Amino acid sequence: MKLDVALPQHQYTLFIERGALKQVGEWAKTLWKPQKIAIITDDTVKSLYGEQVVENLSKAGFDVSVFSITPGEASKSFDSAIEAYTFLAEQGLTRSDGVLALGGGVVGDLAGFVASTYLRGIHFLQVPTTLLAQVDSSIGGKTAVNTPVAKNMVGTFAQPDGVLIDADVLQTLEPRRVREGIAEIVKSAAIADIDLWKKLTSLENEEELLEQVDELILASCNVKRKVVEEDELDNGNRLILNFGHTIGHAIEATAGYGVVTHGEGVAIGMVQMNRIAEEKGLTPKGTTEELKEMLVKFHLPISHTPWNEEELYEALTHDKKARGNQIKTIILEEIGKARIHTIDTEEMHDYLQV
Ligand code: NAD
């Protein structure tokens, strides 16, 4: 399956197919002439798939090297970026060479950032290996590193030359990580795709979802594609992708990173936000129940304890989406359709009531 992303400055295609990792060399050859490729990955992904990808790219005529980081968010840093620049320079990569990101969102964000800034920008490819990265971070062109001040504080908008998605790699991913991606698929359906919602509703359980995950990845990426094509630089409607994220980030941050994962935070955030919007008459009655049923079916949490309203409010108003006295929230007009709803920051207290 293929999905074209057409942006004013750049067009590229997502190639979604089980077993596609075994054809990574052939795929890269359709996009690039034989040249140097530096794979940026992490130690876990390298040990699982590194050899196979290196071999495959080499066979296709590329001159391949590998730069690997310690897995985890802490590696999405300037220190890692500087190590990566040094590596690329040592390998002699020029502007006609390229980077291939092989890993989850951490690797994708870091590799995209490094590629888009090294020598003022060289070409890169995304080969996402977590479901979250396959449905979210590898599409849309946001790259980033964290700083001690804030997560994702420094980054670029830079689009890859292509994205290769092989759902077979999810077999080695921890179930809790897989569910993070499922939360984003549920979000995509809720904000912009009623057909995807109906499809998810028709699925019995997680097992059935995973059997059909290619199709769901495609539909979810298509939601993001449409939004990104309309608002690449995130000045307007792209914000609807953040449904559940503002409260979700606050939960993640206050629980201590890792206690509640990003996807779990988003799941809880969507339910909380929607319940209050429903009480305020902004969202049709019954949608929260539908959301809850969907998330529970896929083993995602719908609430969190301890719930410290003040702490959450503090974390949330420090969030980058808080601008002055107002905050932009995302509301479901109905399942399958979201809109931005701007409120006074103080009103956020209402949305944190349990
Ligand atoms: P991650 O990259 O840290 O991967 C999670 C873990 O899974 C890591 O330990 C990794 O080694 C392991 N892993 C990856 N693929 C595997 C596989 N196939 N089998 C076994 N283990 C595997 O985390 P993530 O959840 O993929 O991404 C989170 C990051 O994505 C965050 O930094 C977030 O800010 C970023 N993000 C970016 C965007 C964007 O638009 N750029 C969007 C959403 C999230």
Q: Specify the residue with its C-alpha closest to ligand 1, atom 33.
A: 105
The top-scoring range by mean pLDDT among 5-14, 52-61, 312-321 is: 52-61
- Whole-number Å distance, alpha carbon 313 to ligand 1 midpoint, is 27
- Whole-number Å distance, alpha carbon 177 to ligand 1 midpoint, is 8
User: What is the predicted pLDDT for the residue at 323?
Assistant: 55
The mean per-residue pLDDT over the stretch 276-284 comes to 97
Ligand 1 atom at shortest distance from the alpha carbon of 146: 32
Q: Specify the residue with its C-alpha closest to ligand 1, atom 40.
A: 137
Q: How many Å apart are CA 19 and CA 41, to the nearest integer?
A: 19
| Domains of the chain in sequence order | 2-172 (3.40.50.1970), 175-351 (1.20.1090.10)
- Does residue 115 have a pLDDT over 90? yes
Question: Residue 9: which pLDDT band, with cuts at 50, 70 and 90?
Answer: confident
- Whole-number Å distance, alpha carbon 106 to ligand 1 midpoint, is 5
Amino acid, res. 3: L
User: What separation in angstroms does the CA of 98 have from each of 19, 63, 129, 234?
Assistant: 23, 10, 19, 26
DSSP of 140-164 = S-B--BB-SS-TT-B--B---SEEE
Q: How many Å apart are CA 64 and CA 55, to the nearest integer?
A: 9
Q: Where are the beta strands (DSSP E) in 143-279?
A: 162-165
User: What is the predicted pLDDT for the residue at 236?
Assistant: 87
Q: Specify the residue with its C-alpha closest to ligand 1, atom 27.
A: 105
pLDDT, greater one: 321 or 302: 302
Place of tokens 């399956």: 1
The mean per-residue pLDDT over the stretch 290-314 comes to 96
- Whole-number Å distance, alpha carbon 74 to ligand 1 midpoint, is 12
User: What is the predicted pLDDT for the residue at 257?
Assistant: 63
Q: How many Å apart are CA 65 and CA 38, to the nearest integer?
A: 5
Ligand 1 atom at shortest distance from the alpha carbon of 172: 19
Q: How many Å apart are CA 239 and CA 321, to the nearest integer?
A: 9
Question: Residue 318: which pLDDT band, with cuts at 50, 70 and 90?
Answer: confident
Cα radius of gyration (the chain): 20
Amino acid, res. 158: A
User: What is the predicted pLDDT for the residue at 281?
Assistant: 97
- Whole-number Å distance, alpha carbon 72 to ligand 1 midpoint, is 8
- Whole-number Å distance, alpha carbon 12 to ligand 1 midpoint, is 22
User: What is the predicted pLDDT for the residue at 63?
Assistant: 98
The mean per-residue pLDDT over the stretch 13-29 comes to 97
For residue 39, which phi and psi values (nearest 5 degrees)? Answer: -85, 130
- Whole-number Å distance, alpha carbon 282 to ligand 1 midpoint, is 34
The mean per-residue pLDDT over the stretch 293-314 comes to 96
Rounded to 10 deg, the angle between the 175-192 and 194-202 helix axes is 140
Longest dimension (CA), the chain: 60
Tokens of 260: 């509640």
Rounded to 10 deg, the angle between the 287-297 and 262-279 helix axes is 160
First to last CA, the chain: 43
Mean pLDDT of the chain: 95
User: What separation in angstroms does the CA of 210 have from each of 68, 176, 296?
Assistant: 29, 13, 16
Q: Encode pLDDT of 244-254 as tens digits.
A: 999 999 999 89
- Whole-number Å distance, alpha carbon 108 to ligand 1 midpoint, is 8
The mean per-residue pLDDT over the stretch 120-147 comes to 95
Lowest mean pLDDT among 26-35, 103-112, 235-244, 248-257: 248-257
Question: How far is C-alpha 302 from the geometric centre of its chain's CA atoms?
Answer: 20
The mean per-residue pLDDT over the stretch 7-12 comes to 89
- Pocket residues: Cβ below 6 A from ligand 1: 42, 44-45, 48, 71-73, 76, 103-107, 109, 129-130, 132-133, 136-137, 140, 142, 152, 169, 172-173, 177, 180
DSSP of 39-55 = EEEEHHHIIIIIHHHHH
Query: If we measure between CA atoms, which residue out of 236, 141, 249, 243 comes closest to residue 197?
Result: 243
Q: Encode pLDDT of 174-217 as tens digits.
A: 999 999 999 999 999 999 999 999 999 999 999 999 999 999 99
- Whole-number Å distance, alpha carbon 17 to ligand 1 midpoint, is 20
Question: Residue 45: which pLDDT band, with cuts at 50, 70 and 90?
Answer: very high
Question: Residue 53: which pLDDT band, with cuts at 50, 70 and 90?
Answer: very high
Pocket test for ligand 1, best of 109, 165, 227 (most atoms within 8 A of CB): 109
Lowest mean pLDDT among 137-151, 246-260, 313-327: 313-327
Question: Residue 234: which pLDDT band, with cuts at 50, 70 and 90?
Answer: confident
For residue 304, which phi and psi values (nearest 5 degrees)? Answer: -140, 140
User: What is the predicted pLDDT for the residue at 276?
Assistant: 97
Q: Specify the residue with its C-alpha closest to ligand 1, atom 38.
A: 137
In sequence order, the 6+-apart residues with CB closer than 8 A to the CB of 248 are 262, 265, 266, 267, 268, 269, 270
- Does residue 322 have a pLDDT over 80? no
DSSP state at residue 137: I
Tokens of 135: 């449905």
